[in-house]
């Protein structure tokens, strides 16, 4: 007998539905994004060490982060358009391999200028992976479980940060911050191995055949600029703007918290570098649970939109309470874990929601432009605002202003979006 809950979830039906191509695509994308996120997470644990070695302040580290997101704001749009133009599989491999190469080069940077260059290039190419992978899952997953697999895919973020924290805790104490970047070189061959197991999605192939009138790869396609222009057409403009602005506010909180949490624990709460990394291993592990809960709530209890709003507001409340009331290292670890569980849980529904409500012909472009571009815009802003505000107001007020408050605002913005149903074919949503 199937294990069925009152809301209709069937474990056996899920296994049958995702068997074969859907689950293979999911596993490959999850592994790829986790490895890439691990690479990028290492920088946050290196900030105290690199600022000391190069004799620079936190403001310089913040500027490096901002430059990275500024470059990523350009590359993520290019990656999205190229993914709709040349294919999902090819861009997945290219972005993953290039980002790993540049992250590995962090270990050999002779000056702060070279380190900044490697950071900018590594992060800018890594961000391009996310709309590619999200698009592949949306197009390959069965309709009933599209939100489930899309949400689970986003577990790559806390898992990557958790693995990065583990790597940092192993290397930092004895070998220093440079040594922990060398494992990134191993991700380069992994990118090609994972790419060998991927297949192009049938929806993309069908859309390309329909737009060109032939399945020939080199046939004439729509101009690249047409992909971007259509997002602001009367039919899609309101949808695009809500998703873009809501994403900016929600990720202002997420970027500031995730990249500066190690420094917050060290400077404000007196935790050592190694212990801060060790604490965050468990915090990110707790956060990963948010994706499992959000995938269930967003698919079988509420809609995607309502789950995004609920998780953003719960995250704001939990993080605010943690900042103002908690001092114990153990309770800090738990409080940060629960807060980020809701942060990331909201993202796990926002990302598939954005991808599925736009047509196949520009799905990756939309995921990159109104989704990932909103992330990078917020994320290049946070590193500029936070160091200056910390100097004036301290860490507690800074995270309140740039994490708690933006999450509340984001929830109100997304409440203006149409409340699309879950579990239907994407062609019914992407009108």
In the chain, where are the structural domains located? 17-429
pLDDT score of 8: 52
Q: How many of the other CB atoms lie within 10 Å of CB of 417?
A: 20
- Residue pLDDT tens, the chain, 431 long: 333 334 456 677 878 877 888 888 999 999 999 988 888 788 878 888 888 888 887 778 878 877 887 888 888 888 777 887 777 888 889 999 998 999 999 988 888 889 999 998 988 888 888 888 888 888 888 877 877 887 788 778 778 877 887 888 777 767 778 888 888 898 899 999 998 888 877 766 666 655 545 444 444 455 556 667 778 888 888 989 999 999 999 998 888 777 788 788 888 888 877 777 777 777 777 777 777 788 788 878 888 899 999 999 999 999 999 999 988 888 888 888 888 889 878 887 888 888 788 887 777 788 778 887 888 788 778 877 888 898 889 999 999 999 999 999 999 999 999 888 776 666 666 55
Q: Are 14 and 6 in contact, with CB atoms under 8 Å apart?
A: no
Residue-level length of the chain: 431
284, 162 contact by CB (below 8 A):
yes
Q: How far apart are CA 340 and CA 314, in angstroms?
A: 10
- Taking each helix axis from N to C end, the angle separating 405-414 and 304-325, rounded to the nearest 10 degrees, works out to 170
Eight-state DSSP code of residue 430? -
Left (φ > 0), alpha (ψ -120 to 50) or beta: where does 20 sit?
left
pLDDT of residue 311: 93
* Predicted local confidence at residue 203, as pLDDT: 67
Query: Which residues, 6 or more positions from 87, have their beta carbon under 8 angstroms from its beta carbon?
Result: 200, 204
Which of the 8 DSSP states describes residue 232? T
pLDDT of residue 424: 67
Alpha helix (H) residue ranges in 154-222: 156-175, 187-196, 202-212
Q: What is the pTM of this model?
A: 0.71
> In terms of Cα–Cα distance, which of 158, 138, 160 is closest to 349?
138
CATH architecture assigned to 17-429: Up-down Bundle (1.20)
* pLDDT given at position 205: 65
Query: What's the pLDDT at 246?
Result: 94
Instruction: Give 184's DSSP letter.
Output: G
């Amino acid at each position: 007998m199937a294990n069925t809950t009152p809301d209709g979830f069937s474990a056996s039906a899920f296994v049958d539905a995702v068997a074969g191509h859907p689950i293979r695509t999911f596993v490959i994308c999850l592994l790829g994004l986790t490895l890439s996120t691990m690479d990028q997470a290492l920088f946050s644990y290196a900030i105290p060490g690199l600022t000391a070695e190069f004799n620079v302040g936190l403001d310089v580290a913040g500027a490096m982060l901002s430059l990275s997101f500024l470059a990523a704001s350009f590359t993520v749009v290019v990656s999205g358009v190229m993914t709709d133009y040349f294919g999902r599989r090819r861009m997945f491999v290219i972005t993953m391999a290039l980002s790993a190469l540049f992250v590995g080069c962090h270990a050999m940077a002779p000056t702060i200028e070279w380190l900044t260059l490697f950071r900018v290039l590594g992060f800018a190419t890594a961000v391009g992976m996310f709309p590619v992978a999200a698009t592949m899952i949306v197009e390959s997953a069965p309709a009933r479980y599209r939100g489930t697999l899309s949400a689970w895919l986003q577990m790559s973020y806390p898992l990557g940060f958790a693995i990065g924290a583990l790597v940092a805790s192993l290397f930092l104490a004895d070998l220093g911050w440079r040594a922990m970047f060398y494992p990134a070189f191993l991700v380069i061959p992994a990118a090609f191995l994972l790419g060998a197991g991927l297949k192009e999605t049938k929806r993309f192939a069908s859309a390309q055949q329909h737009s060109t009138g032939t399945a020939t790869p080199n046939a004439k396609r729509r101009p690249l600029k047409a992909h971007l222009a259509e997002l602001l057409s009367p039919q899609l403009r309101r949808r695009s703007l809500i998703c873009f602005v809501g994403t900016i506010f929600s990720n202002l909180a997420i970027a500031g918290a995730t990249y500066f949490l190690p420094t917050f624990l060290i400077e404000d709460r007196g935790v050592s570098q190694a212990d801060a990394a060790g604490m965050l291993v468990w915090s990110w592990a707790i956060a990963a649970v948010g994706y499992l809960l959000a995938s269930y709530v967003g698919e079988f209890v509420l809609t995607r939109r309502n789950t995004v709003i609920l998780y953003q507001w719960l995250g704001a409340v939990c993080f605010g309470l943690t900042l103002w009331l908690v001092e114990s290292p153990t309770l800090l670890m738990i409080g940060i874990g629960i807060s980020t569980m809701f942060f990331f849980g909201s993202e796990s529904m926002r990302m598939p929601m954005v991808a599925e409500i736009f047509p196949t012909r520009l799905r990756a472009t939309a995921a990159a432009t109104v989704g990932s571009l909103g992330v990078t815009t917020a994320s290049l802003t946070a590193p500029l605002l936070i160091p200056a505000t910390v100097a004036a107001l301290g860490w507690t007020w800074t995270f309140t202003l740039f994490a708690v408050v933006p999450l509340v605002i984001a929830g109100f913005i997304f409440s203006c979006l149409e409340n699309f149903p879950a579990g239907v074919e994407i062609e019914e949503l992407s009108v």
